[in-house]
Amino acid sequence: MKEKLNAIRTALNSALAYVEDEHGVTLNVGSMSYDQNGFVSKLTCTFDAEDGSKITPEAINFKEKAHTFGLSPDDLGKTFEDWQNVKWKIVGSKARAQKAPILVERLKDKKVHKMKAEQVVGFLKLTAA
């Protein structure tokens, strides 16, 4: 059953890509609960910014909570390097995460990781220096 759900999710994401491009939105198929008769899933939609950039719930959360992390809402989208010269970009924050609430995207492969707020603040200072 899980293989079938994965195939359905892939097909849904492909079909939704057309709607995203056509209407300037970002759509996300959430987790699926299922039984032998079918499945239930949540579909979330966020409208893209006027410049075409994607606005995610995590980006909105970052802008609302940035000051609690010692950051500025304007830090969203900023890039920095860590101590291994890996380049990262701030893409949002997780509302419930306590240890590592900041979401950062590794620029070389676009993979999103969680990072501690203190680390991000420190890396931004080092990069600015």
List the domain boundaries for the chain: 2-47, 57-128
Amino acid identity, residue 3?
E
The beta strand positions in 1-129, using DSSP E, are 25-35, 38-47, 79-81, 87-93, 102-106, 111-115
Write out pLDDT tens, residues 11-53: 998 999 999 889 988 888 888 899 989 999 999 888 887 777 7
Write out pLDDT tens, residues 64-89: 999 999 999 999 999 999 999 999 99
pTM attached to this predicted model: 0.69
